[in-house]
Chain A
């Protein structure tokens, strides 16, 4: 069975600073990896996904993530954050049966 670990429950950062949100996964089969964002009182929406190919994936709102198979990681990065990036970020993994499992989330708080 697959699982996802998000190592930081909260990440405070100042506006225009870079940020990295960490995600590690475990699975006995090939997986697909995702990052979703949740704004207050909203459902989740997709930021980016890794299916195959290039290990550096670019998503919406200037975010990118790098798949590292040897370290079983899929960390999310943004070189310069904005106040509007304040939200909850979820890493997720799915297997070939489409079972989609989420991590516990990382609360990104951007300060002016």
Chain B
């Protein structure tokens, strides 16, 4: 059963600490998205990649956030330093090129910054 895997599922960290969230896209999918979900803003697109290259990361605060795909099986989202306002659920999704088919979502990482 192919699925997008995100780790960790939950993360509590202190303000100022570095946070790394990981995503394993479905094998063969070459489009990967990072979203942030909050009550106030809903689902915000932070960045997305095609064939490991960033296509658009305009939704991401550049001073503290970074997103990479070291290889086709791993996408990472880092926050350094973290702040309380970063508390949210972060979702990774993957899909085949020509995404007018479907984006498959992971279970999300719930981040709490205290």
Contact = CB atoms under 8 A, between A and B. Distances in A.
Chains A and B are bound partners: yes
Interface of A: 32, 34, 41-46, 49, 51, 90, 94, 97-105
A16 B48 CA distance: 40
B41 to A, nearest CB: 8
Interface stretch (B11-19, B60-68, B70-78, B96-104): B96-104
Size range of the interface on B? 20 to 34
Interface of B: 4, 31, 33, 35, 41-43, 45, 48, 50, 55-56, 91, 93, 95, 97-103, 105-108
B55 A99 contact: yes
B108 A43 contact: yes
A49 B95 CA distance: 14
A105 B43 contact: yes
22 contacts: A41-B107, A42-B107, A43-B4, A43-B93, A44-B93, A46-B103, A94-B99, A94-B100, A97-B55, A98-B31, A98-B48, A98-B55, A98-B95, A98-B97, A98-B99, A98-B100, A99-B48, A102-B42, A102-B45, A103-B42, A104-B42, A104-B43
Nearest to B98: A98
Contact of B107 (A32, A43, A46, A97): A43
B107 A90 contact: no
Contact of A43 (B45, B48, B91, B98): B91
